[in-house]
């Protein structure tokens, strides 16, 4: 959030920060509100959104997290708000090569919220947040789960690379071992690889919850179909392709101001290290297919969340095509 302007006693115009090193990509939000009074209708107008449409016009509500409720042992995000409208306003956007399609003006997301407690500290968000810290916490939880219970699941966390800000990029491997010793020598080298990536765009936090659920399913022994999948495939999962963008609160870009999803053809190891090393991993597995003693790379799946149409976007690529 760049600025809050009080326009009436209980109404505020809010101006979002653009992605770092850009002047654009304004849509996703996650900010804090404090010093409120209970049972008062507060109006928030986010006046510099860029998308031409939003699920706010289809019934979606913003999310609220109350610190007071969290301290009362009820920590949760919940949908709140009324009188929610998303519309085009009269504020002119700066001149760029993309901005004149819709007349060069911003859009407003406006909603009313009644806070339940006086003097509370609350957080409001566009989607359920999933931070880099949450990812590291989940990785530790999954690792402990595998170590502390007998199973035939092979689970390994490695570092694919580091970001521009020197944040480690985790690479997860999941498959089935031939016995409970969980040693890499027990992995059948004739299994095919499936590579899954997620969160190339920081604002698509819902996709992180999808990949979290997928990983937890792969680490479960309760489903026979999941057990069969682990016997057939080796899953290579990169759960967060853009940690820097997530950490600084960007909507679409990395810390360099680049949309990483537009640099798969010729990525730079310095400017787009996560894309570069993910592509190198895929090329390595593709090269290894020539050996009869090494597993095949069959499928690549990228998960994203399309915020306008409220749909999950899966890009699936086969090594045979």
Return d(Cα 227, Cα 181) in angstroms, integer.
17
Question: Residue 43: what are its φ and ψ, rounded to 5°?
Answer: -110, 130
Tell me the C-alpha to C-alpha distance, in Å, between residue 41 and each of 9, 175, 242: 10, 52, 37
Which band of pLDDT confidence, cut at 50, 70 and 90, is reported for residue 50? very high
Q: Is the domain of 182 the same as that of 300?
A: yes
CATH of the domain at 115: 2.60.40.3120
Q: Is the domain of 277 the same as that of 312?
A: yes
Q: Is the domain of 28 the same as that of 102?
A: yes
Half-sphere exposure of residue 135, counting CA atoms within 13 Å on the CB side? 28
Return d(Cα 247, Cα 109) in angstroms, integer.
24
Angular region, 247: left φ>0, alpha ψ -120 to 50, beta rest? alpha
Q: Is the domain of 38 the same as that of 83?
A: yes
Which of 99, 125, 151 lies at the terminal end of a domain, its last residue?
Answer: 125
CB 204 within 8 A of CB 245: no
pLDDT tops 80 at residue 156 = yes
Q: Is the domain of 295 the same as that of 172?
A: yes
Task: Find residue 311's DSSP bridge partners.
Answer: 306
Q: Is the domain of 94 the same as that of 143?
A: no
Mean pLDDT of the chain: 89
pLDDT in tens, 137-146: 999 999 999 9
| Cβ neighbours of 205 (radius 10 Å) | 21
The pLDDT value recorded for residue 311 is 46
Q: Is the domain of 42 the same as that of 112?
A: yes
The pLDDT value recorded for residue 292 is 57
CATH of the domain at 219: 3.40.630.10
Which of 85, 103, 125 lies at the terminal end of a domain, its last residue?
Answer: 125
Which band of pLDDT confidence, cut at 50, 70 and 90, is reported for residue 242? very high
CB 180 within 8 A of CB 221: no
Which of 110, 125, 140 lies at the terminal end of a domain, its last residue?
Answer: 125
Closest to 108 measured CA to CA, from 129, 125, 84 = 84
Closest to 16 measured CA to CA, from 249, 206, 208, 309 = 249
| Cβ neighbours of 7 (radius 10 Å) | 10
Q: Is the domain of 176 the same as that of 40?
A: no
The pLDDT value recorded for residue 211 is 96
Q: Is the domain of 259 the same as that of 303?
A: yes
pLDDT in tens, 278-311: 999 998 888 776 555 555 667 889 987 655 444 4
Domain count along the chain: 2
Q: Is the domain of 182 the same as that of 271?
A: yes
Return d(Cα 254, Cα 136) in angstroms, integer.
19
| Cβ neighbours of 266 (radius 10 Å) | 9
Return d(Cα 240, Cα 237) in angstroms, integer.
9
CB 36 within 8 A of CB 51: no
pLDDT tops 80 at residue 183 = no
Q: Is the domain of 48 the same as that of 149?
A: no
Angular region, 52: left φ>0, alpha ψ -120 to 50, beta rest? alpha
Domain range for 23 is 3-125
> With helix as H, strand as E and coil as C, how does 6-37 read?
EEECCEEEEECCCCCCCCCCCCCCEEEEECCC
Q: Is the domain of 159 the same as that of 297?
A: yes
Return d(Cα 119, Cα 116) in angstroms, integer.
10
């Amino acid at each position: 959030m760049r600025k809050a302007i009080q326009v009436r006693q209980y109404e505020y115009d809010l101006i979002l920060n653009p992605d770092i090193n850009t002047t654009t990509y304004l849509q996703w939000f996650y900010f804090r509100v404090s010093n409120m009074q209970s049972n008062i209708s507060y109006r928030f107008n986010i006046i510099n959104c860029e998308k031409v449409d939003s699920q706010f016009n289809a019934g979606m509500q913003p999310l609220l997290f109350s610190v007071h409720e969290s301290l009362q042992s009820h920590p949760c995000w919940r949908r709140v708000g009324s009188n929610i409208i998303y519309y085009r306003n009269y504020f002119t956007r700066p001149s760029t090569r993309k901005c004149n399609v819709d007349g060069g003006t911003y859009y407003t997301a406006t909603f009313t919220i009644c806070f339940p407690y006086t003097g509370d500290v609350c957080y409001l968000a566009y989607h359920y947040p999933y931070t880099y810290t949450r990812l590291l916490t989940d990785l530790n939880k999954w690792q402990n789960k595998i170590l502390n219970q007998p199973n035939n699941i092979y689970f390994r966390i490695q570092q694919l690379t580091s970001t521009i800000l020197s944040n480690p990029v985790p690479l997860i491997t999941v498959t089935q071992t031939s016995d409970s010793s969980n040693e890499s020598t027990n992995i059948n080298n004739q299994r095919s690889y499936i590579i899954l990536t997620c969160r190339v765009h920081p604002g698509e936090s819902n996709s992180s919850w999808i990949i979290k659920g997928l990983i937890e399913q792969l680490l479960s022994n309760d489903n026979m179909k999941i057990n069969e999948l682990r016997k057939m495939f080796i899953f290579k999962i990169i759960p967060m392709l853009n940690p820097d963008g997530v950490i600084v609160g960007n909507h679409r870009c990395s810390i360099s101001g680049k949309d990483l999803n537009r640099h798969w053809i010729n990525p730079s190891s310095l400017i787009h290290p996560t894309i570069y090393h993910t592509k190198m991993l895929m090329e390595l597995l593709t090269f290894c297919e020539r050996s009869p003693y090494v597993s095949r790379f069959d499928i690549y799946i990228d998960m994203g969340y399309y915020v306008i149409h409220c749909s999950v976007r899966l890009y699936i690529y086969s090594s045979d095509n």
